[in-house]
Amino acid sequence: MVPLKILKSIAQKNEKKILLIVLDGVGGIPFNYGKTELEMANTPNLDKFASISETGFHIPCSYGITPGSGPAHLGIFGYDPFSYTIGRGVLEALGIGVELEENELCARANFATIDKNGIVIDRRAGRISTEENKRICEILKENMGEIDGVKVSIYPGKEHRFVVVFKGEDLEEFLTDCDPQKEGKPIPEAKATAKSSERAARIVNSFLKRAIKVLSKEKKANAILMRGFSKIPPIPKMQDIFKLNPCAIATYPMYKGLAKLVGMEVLKTGDTLRDQIKTLKENYNKFDFFFFHYKKTDSKGEDGDFNGKVRAIEDFDQVLPEILSLNFSAVAITGDHSTPAKLKSHSWHPSPLAIHGEYVFPDDVNEFHERAFRKGSLGVIYSTDVLPILLALSGKLKKYGA
């Protein structure tokens, strides 16, 4: 990939508009009837798009690597996912919609059950219900307040999961987990692995003690575990590196959060594709880069619901012409990673990619699916190469060297 400092030195602003459509987890492998979801789906509009595009695949991180949503999106946003990493705590917080600030340290947390000797006997507190979770989070909140000038915030997630955010100065993230990882052991205190985190360790451990005291009357959720202490990473903004004025049209908190991390303005939108298109149209004049995220393809893939994923693809195909009726100098349609229904999870398989623009040299591929794209002219590129191509097609990169 091109070093960011070189991209920064040649990026230039102009009025042209780029559209990056991410059909989350859209790629698959043959499953029902020996076909992938994209092969099975009836997609006249995506096929038409393929016929005017260069097609191929991108590899989200590297061969054989199954990426989480964080690294997968960083890659297609143009950032090396091995150089820029997002802590587990931060990802969990983004995923439930917490808007983090720079002086906030956060952690993924579980409610857990300990015995009278403080030994963890259930790391998930019997998988308490989400409702129960909310009730207990309220108790924690009421009894917590500040610790040595640090404000502690609690955000319930699903079942036994929640997020803790410590807001204050000098709270660095170099901490070991307060989690024994297995049952039959006591909860370890956080240890600072760097001097700059010693204050954070004291605050976290004092919170841990207080929480166990406050929860002592709970039957199941009488303790907490914390891991993945992290802060929002210092990722240079797309405005600064690529000279873009970017926005995100996404319905799920995780993707909104990831978009915000790289500088995108996260637009308010509704839950449906129709809402997202309305938002795109209303904001068309205000931005020059649009990240359009469609979640359903990934959700159905994660469920192992092949037919559901096929329908999700067909639903998107229906609205594509309306999206493309707006004028973009470059459009990419791809996934962040693959989520084959056969695997019921993210996977390492290359993600199908089609790029259209005035200066694209279309190949002979006329169908939008993995088998067809294998004959595409883009071949297999890395996810970090996608954005430079879109910038080039839009005249947003000056010549490198003379």
Q: Which of 24, 37, 92, 177 binds a second copy (CB under 8 A)?
A: 92
Whether residue 55 contacts residue 353, with contact meaning beta carbons closer than 8 Å, is answered with yes
Whether residue 120 contacts residue 181, with contact meaning beta carbons closer than 8 Å, is answered with no
Q: Which is nearer to a second copy, 97 or 379 (CB)?
A: 379
Q: Which is nearer to a second copy, 2 or 326 (CB)?
A: 2
- CA–CA gap between residue 251 and residue 291 (Å, rounded): 12
| Residue 2 interacting with a second copy (CB under 8 A) | yes
Q: Which of 145, 184, 234, 401 binds a second copy (CB under 8 A)?
A: 401
| Residue 400 interacting with a second copy (CB under 8 A) | yes
- CA–CA gap between residue 87 and residue 75 (Å, rounded): 16
Q: Which is nearer to a second copy, 214 or 390 (CB)?
A: 390
Residue by residue, DSSP assigns 152-191 as EEEEE-STTEEEEEEESSS--S-B--B--SSTTSBPPPP-
How far is CA 358 from its chain centroid?
A: 30
Number of residues that bind a second copy (CB under 8 A): 58
The one segment of 137-145, 203-211, 218-226, 354-362 that binds a second copy by CB under 8 A: 354-362
- CA–CA gap between residue 324 and residue 387 (Å, rounded): 19
Tell which positions 167-196 bind a second copy, by CB under 8 A.
none
Tell which positions 362-381 bind a second copy, by CB under 8 A.
363, 370, 374, 377, 379-381
**Which one, of 382, 361, 340, lies nearest residue 76 by Cα?**
382
Shortest gap between Cβ of 252 and a second copy (angstroms)?
14
Q: Residues 6 or more apart from 359 whose CB is under 8 A from it? A: 392, 393
Whether residue 355 contacts residue 20, with contact meaning beta carbons closer than 8 Å, is answered with no
How far is CA 376 from its chain centroid?
A: 27
Shortest gap between Cβ of 199 and a second copy (angstroms)?
27
The one segment of 145-153, 178-186, 263-271, 388-396 that binds a second copy by CB under 8 A: 388-396
Q: Which of 102, 234, 325, 402 binds a second copy (CB under 8 A)?
A: 402
Q: Which is nearer to a second copy, 67 or 168 (CB)?
A: 67
Q: Which is nearer to a second copy, 220 or 337 (CB)?
A: 337
E strand or H helix that includes residue 133? helix 130-142
- CA–CA gap between residue 229 and residue 108 (Å, rounded): 7
Shortest gap between Cβ of 27 and a second copy (angstroms)?
10
Shortest gap between Cβ of 283 and a second copy (angstroms)?
25
Tell which positions 61-90 bind a second copy, by CB under 8 A.
61-72, 81-82, 85-86, 88
Residue by residue, DSSP assigns 191-206 as -BSSGGGHHHHHHHHH
| Residue 37 interacting with a second copy (CB under 8 A) | no
Q: Which is nearer to a second copy, 54 or 132 (CB)?
A: 54
Beta-ladder partners of 330: 18, 357
The one segment of 58-66, 99-107, 121-129, 295-303 that binds a second copy by CB under 8 A: 58-66
Tell which positions 270-309 bind a second copy, by CB under 8 A.
none
Shortest gap between Cβ of 399 and a second copy (angstroms)?
5
Handedness of CA 103, 107, 108, 110 (dihedral sign): negative
Q: Which is nearer to a second copy, 278 or 342 (CB)?
A: 342
Tell which positions 9-28 bind a second copy, by CB under 8 A.
10
Shortest gap between Cβ of 345 and a second copy (angstroms)?
8
* Residue 235 DSSP label: P
Tell which positions 327-346 bind a second copy, by CB under 8 A.
340, 342-343, 345-346
Whether residue 276 contacts residue 269, with contact meaning beta carbons closer than 8 Å, is answered with yes
Six token digits for residue 273: 């594709």
Residue by residue, DSSP assigns 93-118 as HHHTT----TTEEEEEEEEEEE-TTS
3-state secondary structure of 375: coil
Residues in touch with a second copy (CB under 8 A)? 1-3, 6, 10, 29-30, 36, 61-72, 81-82, 85-86, 88, 91-92, 340, 342-343, 345-349, 359-361, 363, 370, 374, 377, 379-381, 385, 387-392, 397-402
